[in-house]
Amino acid sequence: MFITFEGPEGSGKTTQARMLATALETLQCKVVLTREPGGTLVGEEIRKILLGPLGKDLDPKCILLLFSAARAQLVRHIIKPAIDSGKIVICDRYADSTRAYQWGGDGIPRDEVERAIQLGTEGLEPDITFYLDLSPEEGLRRRRTDSARGAESGWNSMDARELEFHQRVREAYLSLAKEYSSRFYVIDAAGRIEDIHRTIIEIVNKKLQSRIGGKV
- Is 12 annotated to bind ligand? yes
Neighbours of 30 (CB within 10 A): 12
Instruction: Burial-class residue 102 by CB neighbours within 10 Å (0-12, 13-18, 19+).
Output: buried
- Is 153 annotated to bind ligand? no
- Is 7 annotated to bind ligand? yes
- Is 15 annotated to bind ligand? no
- Is 123 annotated to bind ligand? no
- Any idea what DSSP says for residue 104? I
- Is 120 annotated to bind ligand? no
- Is 207 annotated to bind ligand? no
- Is 10 annotated to bind ligand? yes
Show the CA angle centred on residue 96, arms to residues 91 and 98, nearest 5°.
105
User: What angle separates helix 60-74 from helix 110-121, to the nearest 10 degrees?
Assistant: 20
Q: Which residues are annotated as a binding site?
A: 7-14
Q: Which residues are annotated as a binding site for ATP?
A: 7-14
